[in-house]
């Protein structure tokens, strides 16, 4: 049992932080809006800079372009990226399809797809949800019909973050409509620039473009781009979600905003005290959130620790995601509230505190308890798989 980082981990953390401080524009508040070309360029530059240092895929095995380190280091990476609100962390490639290919991919797939991710040259996106399939993923209706050496894909995917900037998508499609719903699904890798793929932006509630709807109109995908076997997409797809599921991003975001608001409070005037930081109603809420963020952080690092031991517990990841996504919402709600009348001022207002970033984040993180398996689904998982509670 130990709760500090090893000297190597600490050094990595410091090096990463100083890289980011250099790579990000001075006074960078974030968050990035990747639909803006300047922000997308920053994303690409940071991603490449991270890749050049071997950090983008630091947890991957060495033969695929990683450093083969324990998942704690990957967690440090994600936490620092989130803390700096840094763009360039291609989690679809590095944390989702990458580990999935390492475990389930063919040798050809590994050789073809992994190095470009590790080199920071490509962008991936996800094709899971459909307009009528949200929490109930097994109900997807996108079809893939075999045609010689290819599959022809037709259907519609939704909530595909960064699809408008992506090169590749991993997606689930139904290959056997007659099989039981979990049995006839297959995972494909699809070039987003293939004929028949169209990407339609969806504006999110924070007012910018991160999601997309992606339509597939008879899109041809070679059979060599099936991952994990035909009709085996459900288990491959769930394994991928487990790679994804972690609270670490939320922990990093929440820590940063707590630091921001505490810093703000030191100079903010307060009617009753010399500054807001000395207002006990402010600081009591601040420290309560600090306790919860620390709790979520430990839960998250513990999940990574278990994963590193090869004991990838779906429950640990669910607990981490649940706790971290909820405290992250509380933190941002608190921060905006503590900015008083300046809190709801929008980006673009010269009087908006933090250039309106905290408001934008407050709105954006509404998604944290919904995406990647809603927190209700996480609680179901914890109850069923962690506590073995009866289903009926």
Partner 1 sequence: MDFDLSETQELIASGAREFLAARVSGDLVRNIAAGTGSYSDSWWRDVTQLEWPGLLVPEELGGAGLGFPELGALLEEWGAVLAPGPLLETALQGASAINRFGNDGQLKEFLPPIAAGEMIVTPAVHEEQPAWAHISLNASARFINGRWTLNGEKRFAPFAANANLMLVSASTGPSADDCTLFLVRPEDSRGIELTPMKTAAGPPLSRVRLHDVQVTEDAVLGEVGRGQEAIDYLMLLGAVGRSLQMAGAARQVVNMTVDYVSNRHQFGRPVGSFQAVQHHCANMAVAAKGMALLSRKAAWTLSEGSNPARAAAMAKVKANRELPYVCALAHQCHGAIGFTWEHNLHLFTRHALHWRSDYGDTNYHRKKLMTEASA
Residue 203 interacts with its own copies (CB under 8 A)?
no
- 300-308 long-range Cβ contacts below 8 angstroms, 24+ apart: 300/75, 300/246, 300/247, 300/248, 300/251, 300/324, 301/72, 301/75, 303/246, 303/247, 304/71, 304/72, 304/74, 304/75, 304/246, 304/248, 305/71, 305/72, 307/71, 308/70, 308/71, 308/72
Residue 238 contacts which entry, partner 1, its own copies, none (Cβ below 5-8 A, type-dependent): none
Separation CA 289–CA 283 (nearest Å): 10
Residue 383 contacts which entry, partner 1, its own copies, none (Cβ below 5-8 A, type-dependent): partner 1
CB of 158 to partner 1, least distance (A): 7
- The kind and range of the H/E element at 388 are none
CB of 89 to partner 1, least distance (A): 21
Separation CA 137–CA 236 (nearest Å): 13
Q: How far is CA 114 from the centre of its chain?
A: 19
Residue 375 interacts with partner 1 (CB under 8 A)?
yes
Per CB under 8 A, contacts with its own copies among 75-114 are: none
Binding mask 143-182 for partner 1 (x = CB under 8 A): ---------------xx-----------------------
- Residues 205/182, Cβ–Cβ less than 8 Å: no
In the numeric block, the tokens 């930081």 are attached to 277
CB of 275 to partner 1, least distance (A): 9
Binding partner 1 (rule: CB under 8 A), the pick from 41, 146, 229, 291 is: 291
Residue 313 interacts with partner 1 (CB under 8 A)?
no
Residue 267 interacts with partner 1 (CB under 8 A)?
no
Binding mask 271-290 for partner 1 (x = CB under 8 A): xx----xxxxxxxx-xxx-x
Interacting span for its own copies (CB under 8 A) from 67-75, 105-113, 276-284, 324-332? 276-284
Binding its own copies (rule: CB under 8 A), the pick from 280, 310, 348, 390 is: 280
Binding its own copies (rule: CB under 8 A), the pick from 179, 238, 281, 291 is: 281
237 upstream amide cis, omega within 30 of 0: no
Whether 244 is catalytic: yes
Residue 291 interacts with its own copies (CB under 8 A)?
no
| Interior angle at CA 337, CA 354 and CA 369, nearest 5 | 90
Separation CA 63–CA 47 (nearest Å): 20
Binding partner 1 (rule: CB under 8 A), the pick from 7, 26, 195, 269 is: 269
Question: Catalytic residue positions?
Answer: 244
Contact residues toward its own copies (CB under 8 A) are: 280-281, 284
């Amino acid at each position: 049992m130990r709760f500090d980082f090893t000297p190597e981990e600490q050094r990595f953390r410091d090096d990463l932080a100083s890289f980011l401080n250099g790579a990000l524009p001075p006074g960078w508040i974030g968050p990035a809006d990747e639909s803006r070309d300047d922000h997308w360029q920053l994303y690409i530059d940071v991603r490449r800079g991270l890749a050049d240092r071997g950090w983008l895929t630091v947890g991957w095995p060495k033969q695929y372009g990683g450093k083969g380190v324990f998942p704690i280091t990957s967690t440090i990476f994600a936490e620092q990226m989130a803390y700096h609100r840094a763009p360039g962390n291609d989690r679809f490639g590095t944390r989702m399809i990458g580990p999935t290919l390492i475990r389930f991919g063919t040798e050809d797939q590994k050789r073809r797809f992994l190095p470009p991710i590790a080199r920071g040259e490509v962008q991936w996106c996800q094709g899971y949800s459909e307009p009528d399939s949200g929490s109930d993923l097994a109900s997807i209706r996108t079809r893939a019909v075999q045609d010689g050496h290819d599959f022809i894909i037709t259907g519609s995917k939704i909530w595909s973050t960064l699809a408008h900037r992506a090169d590749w998508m991993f997606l689930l499609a139904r290959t056997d409509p007659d099989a039981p719903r979990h049995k006839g699904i297959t995972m494909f890798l699809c070039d987003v620039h293939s004929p028949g793929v169209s990407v339609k932006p969806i504006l999110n509630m924070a007012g910018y473009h991160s999601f997309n709807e992606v339509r597939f109109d008879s899109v041809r995908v070679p059979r060599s781009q099936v991952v994990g076997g035909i009709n085996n997409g459900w288990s491959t797809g769930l394994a991928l979600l487990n790679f994804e599921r972690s609270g670490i991003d939320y922990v990093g975001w929440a820590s940063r905003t707590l630091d921001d608001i505490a810093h703000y409070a030191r100079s903010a005037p307060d009617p009753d005290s010399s500054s807001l930081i000395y207002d006990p109603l402010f600081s009591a809420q601040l420290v309560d959130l600090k306790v919860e963020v620390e709790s979520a952080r430990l839960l998250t690092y513990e999940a990574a620790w278990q994963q590193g031991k090869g004991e990838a517990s779906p429950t640990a990841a669910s607990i981490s995601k649940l706790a971290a996504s909820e405290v992250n919402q509380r933190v941002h709600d608190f921060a905006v509230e503590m900015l008083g009348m300046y809190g709801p001022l929008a980006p673009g207002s010269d009087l908006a505190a933090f250039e309106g970033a905290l408001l934008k984040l407050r709105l954006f993180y509404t998604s944290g308890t919904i995406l990647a398996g809603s927190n209700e689904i996480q609680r179901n998982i914890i109850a069923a798989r962690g506590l073995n509670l009866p289903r009926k």
